[in-house]
Structure 1
């Protein structure tokens, strides 16, 4: 592990997944990336677009909050699902289409990354 970054999930933040992925893309000490996103918002889909066109390193993603009921506030404003864009399935589909390995749950992070880089 070379770097760990937490960007938060509120609608307005100082840094995005794309900002961080650009840094990781240019970091010689970063060989692969585990991205952990959550329900609500579209930051993960924006990251998927960047990954599809610019990112060259192996990457896996976990989207948390998959069992949250639509419209329920989950601790902060960014984790409210409104429409389909904020749903875990939509985020996973966008990331998968960009070539990202989808991690099915927290307990599978290690195995998924091991499989990704082997």
Structure 2
């Protein structure tokens, strides 16, 4: 399902004039879609896009951190156990780090297009 969803999102970028690269791998990490567009002379719009689609979404997008698994007394990081707003924020911060801002992914983006300001996009369906 994710391949189909990524293809659809890539087509959306392409129809808006973006050059795209899909499935950039760095060891076990992957960037779903890297999209760039020249909006005017020497001004680029650079997007790192992650796509996630599930047929039967029954859990949170972000997994529990190891510490929260202990706090909530659950064995699985995908647990759908209700979380407080503070717990949810911690999980989301860890998820954003994993998907967008970890050192490996920032290094790949820098290698592809140098030091620039990146826009991050998450497509969920």
Q: TM-score, normalised by structure 1?
A: 0.31
Instruction: Name which one, 1 or 2, has greater alpha-carbon Rg.
Output: 2
Q: TM-score, normalised by structure 2?
A: 0.29
